[in-house]
């Protein structure tokens, strides 16, 4: 493999090739971190599930005993711990959302790389429009679609995030399913 020197222009140098390399690098970095984190997250999820099951077993055993003040305190502690673990599991679902978003980023970068490396596609507005439609169709969360639309309307990075945040604030009591 020969390396192109992006500091000087030679007959083999191409901004498209350099862009393609950086797009592929970015996609690879996101993909690798997703793969590496998946094992840890699965382990944590299984651990939380096992802890909840153990707490339920302890709770069931305590319920079969005579109720005393000590048993009542332990039962209350079990229920409180179980509730905290369930809250943690729900909060942990953020990872699933983040993973889905990063998978979209990886797919988008790879697709953009393929688009840019093909001269017929690179300069064809219909190809770009079709690719943009493919990107938008993968989004399942309304906030992703809103950011996408804002960027395509020409809004800045900060404006697009503000649109997304405003939508989330207005629907903060709603649960966004993904």
pLDDT tens figures, 75-127: 888 888 888 888 887 777 778 788 888 889 999 999 999 999 898 998 899 99
Q: Which two tokens stand for residue 173?
A: 């009591």
pLDDT of residue 175: 46
CB-based burial, 43-76: b 16+ in 10 Å, e otherwise: eeeeeeeeebeebeebbeebeeeeeeeeeeebbe
How far apart (Å, rounded) are the C-alpha atoms in residues 72 and 74?
5
pLDDT of residue 2: 52
pLDDT of residue 154: 92
pLDDT of residue 22: 83
pLDDT of residue 51: 86
pLDDT of residue 115: 92
Quote the pTM value: 0.66
pLDDT of residue 95: 80
CB-based burial, 143-159: b 16+ in 10 Å, e otherwise: bbebbbebbeeeeeeee
In the chain, which residues have pLDDT < 50? 174-178
DSSP letters for 77-137? HHHHHHHHHHHHHHHHHHHHHHHHHHHHHHHHHHHHHHHHH-HHHHT-HHHHHHHHHHHHH
């Amino acid at each position: 493999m020969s390396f192109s020197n992006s500091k000087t222009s030679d007959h083999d140098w191409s901004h498209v090739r350099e862009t393609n390399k950086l797009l592929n690098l970015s996609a690879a970095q996101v993909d690798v971190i997703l793969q590496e984190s998946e094992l840890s997250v699965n382990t944590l999820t299984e651990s939380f599930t096992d802890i909840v099951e153990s707490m339920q077993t302890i709770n069931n055993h305590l319920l079969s005993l005579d109720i005393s003040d000590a048993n009542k305190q332990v039962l209350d502690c079990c229920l409180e711990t179980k509730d905290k673990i369930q809250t943690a599991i729900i909060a942990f679902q953020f990872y699933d959302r983040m993973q889905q978003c990063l998978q979209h980023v990886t797919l988008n970068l790879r697709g953009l790389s393929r688009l840019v490396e093909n001269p017929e596609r690179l300069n064809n507005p219909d190809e770009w429009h079709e690719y943009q439609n493919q990107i938008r169709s993968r989004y399942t969360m309304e906030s992703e679609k809103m950011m996408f639309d804002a960027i395509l309307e020409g809004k800045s990075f900060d404006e697009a995030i503000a649109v997304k945040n405003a939508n989330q604030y207005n629907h903060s009591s709603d649960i966004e399913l993904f």
